Amino acid sequence: MKSVYIIGSKGIPAKYGGFETFVEKLTEYQKASEIHYYVSCTRENSEKSGISEDIFTHNGATCFSVDVPNIGPAKAIAYDIAAMKKAIQLSKANKDESPIFYVLACRIGPFISKFRKEIHELGGQLFVNPDGHEWLREKWSLPVRKYWKLSESLMVKYADLLICDSKTIESYIQKDYAKYCPKTTYIAYGTDLSRSQLKNDDPHVHSWFSEKDVSENEYYLVVGRFVPENNYETMIKEFMKSGSEKDFVLITNVEENAFYDKLKKETGFDKDKRIKFVGTVYDQELLKYIRENAYAYFHGHEVGGTNPSLLEALASTKLNLLLNVGFNREVGGDGAVYWDKASLHQVIDSCEEMSSAEIIVMDKLSTEQVLNRFTWPFIVDEYERLFR
């Protein structure tokens, strides 16, 4: 039996988040009976699912809850360290042969050499998913960004294998850290291709569209974290420049967000009745329906690898307008329209002129991109081949 210890997600059952969904699907779609997963979970995540046990089973995986103090931004680092210690203890108790320790993200670089030594003493290997460019995110102060970059470099240096969910990230790792001769492989993120079970006469659908004053197929959509590197400022400004009579619907959390106040002041979007911040949507069936019935989807993410919200949009939204960067081109292929920051308003205006037949072709191409490369069964099979 091959033991695989997964550290770095908040845990399963998954309530939200990219890594959390990844671990949920990795265990849900498991076929290889010779692999057993051990998943670290924050106590908070477990309790949200009504689980109080220290160790429990979910999707056949052994999950272990980890307590960490609420110490602000350093909480995630403390959690990964505590989870790694617990995983190594479990592996020793299990007397594992050749275990794999798979760390999601590069938060504990300054501490990883010690853990790597212990893992190798067990006859195990250290795998790392480097995620995206965390050190480029504007929400972090300069000292924190320097820590993330240092941490990333050390995780790359000491990993036995780096599993990149983006070919662009893999190329960056190979180029920027060539002195470490990193061993890398590419396995993408996955998504769900099923259509929403809701219909337009469903009370949930009717109430949401009525409350938000939005009409089906008459809005552009964006779904994602409300942070500067996702280019909300560009998308709002450029949409305001466009001649579109449709709405721009933003599904994101802006509560107590200084960035929201800054954008309102600088763009005056609150005076444009087309710009509609509608809060968050946690009902996944409703969110699918909203994606499926948008005229087009905006994706302005500039930092990170294969983004979950992009895959979901490609699978469900007919027309996808993506920021012209390597991450997005790699995923969207010829199934999307690409924009640069100064020309988005022109792209919007040209998309308004597209015929129904042209949009149908784009819809088919984008769905095929996902079907051929990004379904969860395909991704899980790739991981199982690697772990075996």
Tell me the DSSP string of 236-292: HHHHHHS---SEEEEES--TT-HHHHHHHHHH-GGG-TTEEE------HHHHHHHHH
What residue ranges in the chain does DSSP mark as E strands? 2-7, 35-42, 55-58, 61-66, 100-104, 125-129, 161-164, 184-186, 219-223, 247-251, 275-277, 296-299, 320-323, 337-339
Q: Which residues of 118-150 are buried (b: 16+ CB within 10 A; e: fewer)?
A: bbeebebbbbbbbbbbbbebeeeeeeebebbbe
pLDDT tens, position by position, for the chain (388 residues)?
999 999 999 999 987 778 999 999 999 999 999 999 999 999 999 998 899 999 999 999 999 999 998 888 789 899 999 999 999 999 999 999 999 999 999 999 999 999 999 999 999 999 999 986 665 566 666 777 788 889 999 999 999 999 999 888 999 999 999 999 999 999 999 988 889 999 999 999 999 999 999 999 999 999 988 988 899 999 999 999 999 999 999 999 887 788 999 999 999 999 999 999 999 998 989 999 999 999 999 999 987 667 788 999 999 999 999 999 988 998 999 999 999 999 999 999 999 999 999 999 999 999 998 998 999 999 999 999 999 9
Range 2-186 has CATH code 3.20.20.140? no
SS3 state at 91: helix
Residues 6+ apart with CB under 8 A from 309: 223, 224, 299, 301
Check for a shared fold between 2-186 and 203-373. yes
Q: Which helix (H) or strand (E) element contains residue 316?
A: helix 308-316
Q: How far apart are CA 130 and CA 169, in angstroms?
A: 8
Residue 221's CB is within 10 A of a number of other CB atoms, namely 22
CB contact at 8 A, 204 and 288: no
Measured in Å, how far apart are the chain's first and last C-alpha atoms? Answer: 9
Neighbours of 162 (CB within 10 A): 24
pLDDT value of position 139: 64
Q: Can you give the pLDDT at residue 258?
A: 86
Domain 203-373 indexed as CATH 3.40.50.2000: yes
CB 155 within 8 A of CB 128: yes
Q: What's the pLDDT score for residue 245?
A: 97
- How far is C-alpha 340 from the geometric centre of its chain's CA atoms? 22
At 144, give phi and psi (nearest 5°).
-70, -40
**Exposed, middle or buried: residue 297 (CB in 10 Å: 0-12, 13-18, 19+)?**
buried
**What is the residue extent of each domain of the chain?**
2-186, 203-373
Q: What is the DSSP letter of 308?
A: H
* pLDDT for residue 281: 93
Q: Give all strands of the β-sheet with 320-323 in edge-to-edge order.
A: 275-277, 247-251, 219-223, 296-299, 320-323, 337-339
Radius of gyration of the chain (CA): 22
Nearest to 158 by CA among 132, 136, 128: 128
Specify the pLDDT at position 134.
Answer: 62
CB of 232 within 8 A of CB of 204?
no
